[in-house]
Structure 1
Amino acid sequence: MAAIRSYLWYVADGEISMQSIALGASKVPFIKGTQKVKETIKPDDLAALLAAPSDRSKIGIRDKTILILLYDSAIRVSELRELTLESLKLNETIPYIRVHGKGDKERIVSITDKTVEHLKRYIKIYHSETNGDYPLFYTVIKGNLSAMSTGNVERILNKYAEKIRPDHPGLPQKLYPHMLRRTRACGLYQNGVELELVSRILGHTSTQTTRIYASPSIEMLKKAMENNSVDVSETAEWLDDEEELARICGIR
């Protein structure tokens, strides 16, 4: 419909008699599709997912660091790919990372001390001989080092999702890196973090964009309903006295 409208207005620019047809087409409403609730990962499933990679293997340590950093910082997978050693400020009083986001905008995102521990362990293994210009997470193909691809990050995420799925059947069938970002953002909002601050963390230019993550939890909805409920209980205005009721009604 959008293509037809654009074409008719293009034709009408050269043929004035077509303007009424173009105007009529512009008034035809678009079909409204059902807006589905965006999936997030439940707390128990998330904890199991982050704990799934082994701490005893080199690959497991790398994979766990990727999953934990994606969740803790709520960065996009594209932003994760652009991180370098210089992006990390792990020895500051308040550790943080410098993120190169959309629109060529840079922001800083605070990370937890636990995430710092995982990053330091990862760097000790994977960056013992590299400098600050190297991609933080990389792959080596035929001797060529490059930033890890989005597809590879997604493969890692689903690899561990399948591993824990037998014990966590409620996990979404297909996971995407953005689910970790959405889960983190929703969790921050539901735990009382102001929307403006959540917006800064996510790198949004407007809080209107952030509102898609501001979905209340079931507990929040329940509390709101209970706080605004109406007391429908009634108290008797007189004693349950048959003689008194008869006297008031004038039948005795």
Structure 2
Amino acid sequence: MTKVASMKFFEYARKYLTEFMPRHRNLSENTIQSNRDSLNLLIDYATKQLEIPLKKIEVKTFQDIKITTGFLDWLKEDRNCGNSTINQRLSCIRSFLKYIAYEDVTYASIYSMLLTIPQRKVDKNKTIEFMSEDALKAILSCPDTKSNKNGLRDCFYMSLMYDSAARNSEMLSIKMKDVINNNTPYIFVNGKGRKKRTIPLMHKTMEIYRTYLKKFHSSYNPEDYLFYVIHRGEKMKMSDDNVAKFISKYAKQARDKCSKVPCKVHPHMFRRSRAMHLYRSGMPLPLLSEFLGHEDPETTLIYASADTEMKRKAIEKATINLDINNEMLVPLWKDDDEMIRKLYGLK
């Protein structure tokens, strides 16, 4: 194994993420970031879990199918990722190896091998996890917004994410110029497929925003990220891992005082909760689909099919005026031995 072979792998990664995806494929920043995250996780797994030195990682490292399947198992068992997330990570790795195979045909067999790894089954009828209003209030009350600067940031982040129902990747990509603070406040977010949408905001959210500005954006720069971290003296985009950590922390605190807080709260749950609350409040599904930025309107139907509470109330409302007397509740076979025998196959 040579140093050149190792550097070749990382050179492929650089060209794939900085040239091929943005210039040749014209893919969105969020899609590129998702692929970057997947490759970083794969490298972390190889170096930390398999103890392969970074300088020894090369394309041929992944010709052993057990490394990729082990990586997927690690995502499931150690990082608690769902099957849809695992499938998405696998797709990113396949796309990267497909690119390498086009660049050098000698690696085509590695890409072909990855195609033999099956996608994990995703339960399309899985119940949507969302928070009740009480659980949401409990979590939002946990950050210390008075004496802790990051507590203010975390509170505003969660409030804005719920209010806008934006995806976590969309939240992290918001820049100062995307926030319009006037009598009818709103934000611009860049969704999937580079589709930009406008989202109106509540005035209560903007009250937190103005306080947040004083602490984090005393000097206005339209190109600054709304949420950032300081790295080597420069403002850098905040990572999704950072968001997941503080949300998990506040959820654990909130669970001690509100039993309705789910055992596992993740960023996407704020989006789902907002969508479900809006649907229950009467927002039509087509409008909800546009609000959420769903490319396929049928995706929004999951909120209608998952809401058993609304179904129960609709059934109660439809039957409340029916004149059901006690006589109708008496079984037809009561005191009829002949019918009872027939029902149980005894005759």
TM-score tier (shorter): 0.7 to 0.9
For 1:138 and 1:32, the matched residues in 2 are separated by 34
Aligned pair count?
A: 204
1:133 maps onto 2:223 in alignment: yes
Q: 1:62 corresponds to which residue?
A: 153
For 1:64 and 1:31, the matched residues in 2 are separated by 35
Q: What letter matches 2:271 in structure 1?
A: R
Q: 1:59-109, CA deviations, whole angstroms, 9 ceiling, x for partnerless residues? A: 111110000000000000000011011000012x31100111110010100
1:110 maps onto 2:200 in alignment: yes
For 1:54 and 1:34, the matched residues in 2 are separated by 38
Q: Which has the larger radius of gyration?
A: 1
1:163 maps onto 2:227 in alignment: no
Q: What letter matches 2:307 in structure 1?
A: P
- TM-fit CA distance, 1:234: 6.8
Q: 1:87 to 1:32 in 2, by over 3 A?
A: closer
For 1:169 and 1:106, the matched residues in 2 are separated by 38
Contact 1:48–1:164, Cα closer than 8 Å, also in 2: yes
The alignment partner of 2:145 has SS state of coil
Q: 1:45 to 1:228 in 2, by over 3 A?
A: same
- TM-fit CA distance, 1:161: 0.7
For 2:124 and 2:202, the matched residues in 1 are separated by 38
For 2:173 and 2:129, the matched residues in 1 are separated by 26
Contact 2:188–2:198, Cα closer than 8 Å, also in 1: yes
Q: 1:33 to 1:149 in 2, by over 3 A?
A: closer
- TM-fit CA distance, 1:176: 1.0
Q: 1:17-69, CA deviations, whole angstroms, 9 ceiling, x for partnerless residues? A: xxxxxxxxxxxxx9895832121112111111112111212111111000000
Q: 1:75 corresponds to which residue?
A: 166
Q: 1:204-223, CA deviations, whole angstroms, 9 ceiling, x for partnerless residues? A: 123201112233352x2232
Contact 2:152–2:212, Cα closer than 8 Å, also in 1: yes
> Which has the larger displacement, 103-112 or 119-128?
119-128
Q: 2:323 corresponds to which residue?
A: 231
> Which has the larger displacement, 127-136 or 65-74?
127-136
Percent identical residues: 38
For 1:162 and 1:197, the matched residues in 2 are separated by 34
Out of 173, 180, 189, the position equivalent to 2:279 is 189
Q: 1:160 to 1:32 in 2, by over 3 A?
A: closer
For 1:213 and 1:32, the matched residues in 2 are separated by 17
Contact 2:179–2:187, Cα closer than 8 Å, also in 1: yes
Q: 1:54 to 1:90 in 2, by over 3 A?
A: same
Q: 2:299 corresponds to which residue?
A: 209
Which structure has more RCO (C-alpha within 8 Å, separation ≥ 6)?
A: 1
Give structure 1 regions of 4+ aligned residues with deviation exceeding 3 angstroms: 30-35
> Which has the larger displacement, 101-110 or 139-148?
139-148
Structure 1 gaps, min length 5: 1-29, 236-252
Contact 2:134–2:260, Cα closer than 8 Å, also in 1: no
> Which has the larger displacement, 141-150 or 79-88?
141-150
Q: 1:115 to 1:32 in 2, by over 3 A?
A: closer
Q: What letter matches 1:70 in structure 2?
A: M
RMSD over equivalenced CA pairs, Å: 2.1
The alignment partner of 2:236 has SS state of strand
Contact 1:62–1:122, Cα closer than 8 Å, also in 2: yes
The alignment partner of 1:167 has SS state of coil
For 1:202 and 1:31, the matched residues in 2 are separated by 25
